[in-house]
Amino acid sequence: MKKNLVYVLCLFPVLLWAQEISGNWKGTLVFGNQKIALSFGVTELENKLLGHMSIPAQGLNKAKASETLFSDGSLKMNFSAFNITYEGHLVNDSIQGNFIQNDFKIPLVLSRGTLQISRPQTPKPPFNYSSEEIVFVNEKAQIQLSGTLNIPKDLPLKALVVMVSGSGPQDRDGSMFDHKPYELLAHSLASDGVGVLRYDDRGVGASQGDFSTASIETLGEDLSAAVRFLRNRKEFARVPMGLLGHSLGGIIAPKVANEHHDIDFLVLLAAPGLSGDLLMLQQKADIERKMGLSEEQISQGQELMRGIYDLVGKNLNTAQTLQDIDRYLIDIYGELLPEQQRKQLMKQIESAEIMSLIKSDPAAFLETLKIPVLAVNGSLDVQVAATENLRAIEKALPPHPKSSVETLDGLNHLFQEAVTGLPNEYYSIEQTLSPKLLVRIKEWINDLNL
């Protein structure tokens, strides 16, 4: 009996401590002129503490802590994947502590609560369209892909659109920085009589597969499976169909349109027109210039990355390419560039998606199109520069009376109304998509008289 009593008495304070620290915590990092809002969560499961961290401005959502410790009022959370630690002490209902990354400390006080983020354009019911959860199969990859099909209820179905996401693993809503642009696009189109299919990328959300294998080629196969799925449904057999691709999806959509003769139109949003290597070089220079780097620094970066992209273009074997890049960096920098930084740089390049983008030639897919195309970009886009890429798209597209290449003034890569166009604005802008874009897409599709 004594042993049991001692055990209970020892366990009771531990559970009390867990309850005190459990919950949601929020704070703001301040360094220089920058402020970054972030939040932490702590839960207790089977006498063990679990933690997570979110930094919405950087697209980080509930990253799991590798270690969460709480003892005598002191909290320590490690996020080894990011080399980040938070250490603090519970004082009344706040945590006084430091955010530490790469041994650099920034004071950070946390208070209870969650970050309140305003996204006024996120669609809310009631809707005048149906939402069907669907599953289709990429037979070649032997994977199931999951998505949502929105069909107008009270309007004639004038067309179908399949959405093609941009770079990186994305869900069917295009969720980023608490924005859901693809959901908003689908809502806008379905409310105007256009059915929309949007789906989770392979290895994302409810879709099977491994996103590390995702390239322009394999993502094109996924899109082809989506097109076949819709065409195999009897009710859609005679309905005109288009593809809507954003960013990288603006390369994939024309590629697939050339392979399917029953695609009737294309909408390309912030789509590359330049070859992949030139696109990424310009993206790097444009962002660095707006961030205030000197022309000398920008030029040095261009020379370095041009050498890396040349190596990517020369080799078909990924392993050999990475070895060549590693040797190239060692030859240039030697010990000035530590091995860890070299590996981080190569990790950014080694994905199948980035490799295929660097090697891509969007013009090759545009030159053979015989269908109308709407290509739109924002004037403030620093990821896919409007002037150079739209010029390349216009040059590559065969003449068509209903095709149009347009720049929307004041919009960034995500088609938000922006100030600088830099990615660090994406989170702080409440607007998900400019009404100018939504109206223009609907107008153009309606003018096709499908």
Q: Inform me whether the pLDDT recorded for 15 exceeds 70.
A: no
* pLDDT, tens only, 104-128: 899 999 999 988 889 999 999 999 9
Does residue 222 contact residue 138 with C-beta atoms inside 8 Å?
yes
Taking CA 198 as the corner, what is the angle to CA 192 and CA 200, rounded to the nearest 5 degrees?
160
Nearest to 277 by CA among 295, 302, 298: 302
The answer to whether the CB of 258 falls within 8 A of the CB of 181 is no
Amino acid at 46: E
Q: Is the pLDDT of residue 2 over 50?
A: no
- The tally of CA atoms less than 13 A away on the side-chain side of residue 106 is 15
The pLDDT of residue 9 is 33
177-212 pLDDT, tens digit each: 889 999 999 999 999 999 999 999 999 999 999 999
Task: Label the pairing between strands 241-246 and 159-164.
Answer: parallel
Residue 98 binned pLDDT confidence (cut-offs 50, 70, 90): very high
Report how far residue 173's alpha carbon sits from residue 415's, in angstroms, rounded to the nearest whole number: 15
Name which residue leads in pLDDT, 317 or 280.
280
- What pLDDT does residue 350 have? 85
Cα–Cα distance between 327 and 268 in angstroms, integer? 38
Higher pLDDT, 2 or 113: 113
pLDDT (tens digit per residue) in 233-250: 999 999 999 999 999 999
Q: Is the pLDDT of residue 393 over 80?
A: yes
Note the pLDDT of residue 1: 36
Q: How far apart are CA 28 and CA 36, in angstroms?
A: 5
Instruction: Give the sheet arrangement for strand 265-269, strand by strand.
Output: 129-138, 143-152, 194-199, 159-164, 241-246, 265-269, 373-378, 404-408
Give the range among 225-229, 301-305, 335-339 with minimum mean pLDDT. 335-339
User: Is residue 181 within 8 Å of residue 433, measured between CB atoms?
Assistant: yes
Burial label, 6 (beta-carbon count in 10 A; 0-12, 13-18, 19+): exposed
Check pLDDT > 70 for residue 137.
yes
Kindly write down the DSSP assignment for every residue of 201-250, as one continuous string: PTTSTT--S-GGG--HHHHHHHHHHHHHHHHTSGGGTTS-EEEEEETTHH
Beta pairing class for 67-71 and 74-79: antiparallel
The bridge status of strand 373-378 relative to strand 23-31 is: unpaired
Q: For residue 26, give the amino acid letter.
A: K
Tokens (6 digits) for 133: 């959860």
Read off the pLDDT of residues 66-81 as tens digits, 9 standing for 90 and up. 999 998 899 999 999 8
Higher-pLDDT residue of 128, 313: 128
pLDDT band at 13 (very low <50, low <70, confident <90, very high): very low
Are 260 and 368 contacting, i.e. CB atoms less than 8 angstroms apart?
no
pLDDT at 385 > cutoff 50: yes
- When pLDDT is cut at 50, 70 and 90, the band that residue 317 belongs to is confident
Q: Are 357 and 350 in contact (CB under 8 A)?
A: no
pLDDT of 16 > 70? The answer is no
Mean pLDDT (the chain) is 91
The model's confidence at residue 447, banded by pLDDT at 50, 70 and 90, is very high
pLDDT at residue 419 is higher than 50: yes
> Is it the case that residue 18 has pLDDT exceeding 60?
no
- Reported as a pLDDT band with limits 50, 70 and 90, residue 4 is very low
Question: Could you tell me which of 144, 248, 150, 162 has the C-alpha nearest to residue 204?
Answer: 144
Q: Cβ-count burial of 327 within 10 angstroms (0-12 exposed, 13-18 middle, 19+ buried)? A: exposed
Yes or no: say if 111 and 27 are a contact pair by the CB < 8 Å rule: yes
Q: Which residue has the tokens 């969720």?
A: 175
Confidence of residue 19 (pLDDT cuts 50, 70, 90): low
Q: Can you tell me the mean pLDDT for 392-409?
A: 98
Written as one letter, the residue type at 413 is H
Per the model's pLDDT, the better-predicted residue between 344 and 379 turns out to be 379
